[in-house]
């Protein structure tokens, strides 16, 4: 996949040499939905980088100035290609939160998914306690379509019973993205 350039960022496929940066934020994922991605050590990060490097739906978010990988984005097509639908997600190294990087990256990514990849509908699952991610969805112009109550579990309580989370679905159609001009300013 081609690289995407924004004002402060480069979005590009993962590549050899990214393991240390990926490990920095995946040694302790902050979002419950990414707990299963937790990396034990640098060797595990190297394997994960190798896997991501051949995953067309996965992009590293890099700082233009330093080249550091500060997070990642994914856009996975559903099993039925005729749906032209993809689920999207984001994960930022917390050190780089609160600076608008996630919004800048996601805008450019949506622009790419709608126009270069031809998706018709993008959706995201967000747990009800994940306010930063909900805010990001809203800034991207996504509509909150509903809440699935006790939908999914990522953790267990002390007795070993699954803790179920309430999950919101946000979505946006290509025609809504275009009408809102949501991608304006996404690309440098």
Q: How far is the CB of 162 from ligand COA (least distance, A)?
A: 19
Query: Which H helix or E strand runs over 105?
Result: helix 101-111
Q: Which residue is nearest to ligand COA (CB)?
A: 100
**86 closest CA partner among 70, 105, 73:** 73
- CB contact at 8 A, 78 and 85: yes
Count the neighbouring beta carbons within 10 Å of the beta carbon of residue 134: 18
Q: How far is the CB of 123 from ligand COA (least distance, A)?
A: 11
Q: How far is the CB of 165 from ligand COA (least distance, A)?
A: 11
Comparison of 58 and 91: residue with beta carbon closer to ligand COA: 91
CA 72-151-26 angle, to 5 degrees, is 25
Q: Please report, as ranges, the residues that interact with ligand COA according to CB under 6 A.
A: 30-31, 33, 89-92, 97-103, 126, 130, 132-133, 136, 139
Comparison of 98 and 175: residue with beta carbon closer to ligand COA: 98
**117 closest CA partner among 177, 178, 56:** 56
Comparison of 78 and 132: residue with beta carbon closer to ligand COA: 132
Comparison of 9 and 159: residue with beta carbon closer to ligand COA: 9
Comparison of 90 and 110: residue with beta carbon closer to ligand COA: 90
Q: How far is the CB of 82 from ligand COA (least distance, A)?
A: 26
From the number of C-beta atoms within 10 Å of its C-beta (0-12, 13-18, 19+), residue 13 rates as middle
């Amino acid at each position: 996949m081609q690289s995407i350039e924004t004002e402060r960022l480069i979005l590009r496929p993962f590549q050899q040499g990214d393991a240390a940066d990926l490990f920095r934020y995946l040694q302790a994922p902050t979002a419950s939905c990414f707990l299963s991605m937790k990396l034990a050590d640098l060797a595990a990060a190297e394997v994960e980088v190798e896997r991501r490097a051949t995953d067309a739906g996965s992009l590293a978010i890099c700082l233009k100035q330093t080249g550091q990988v500060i997070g990642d984005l994914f856009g996975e097509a559903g099993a039925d290609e005729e749906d032209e639908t993809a689920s999207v997600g984001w994960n930022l190294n917390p050190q780089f939160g609160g600076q608008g990087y996630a919004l800048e990256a996601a805008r450019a990514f949506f622009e790419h998914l709608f126009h270069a990849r031809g998706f018709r509908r993008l959706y995201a699952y967000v747990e009800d306690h994940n306010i930063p991610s909900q805010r990001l969805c809203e800034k991207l112009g996504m509509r909150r379509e509903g809440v699935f109550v006790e939908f999914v579990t990522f953790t267990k309580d002390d007795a070993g019973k699954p803790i179920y989370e309430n999950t919101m679905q946000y979505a946006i159609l290509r025609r809504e993205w275009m009408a809102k001009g949501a991608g304006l300013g996404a690309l440098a």
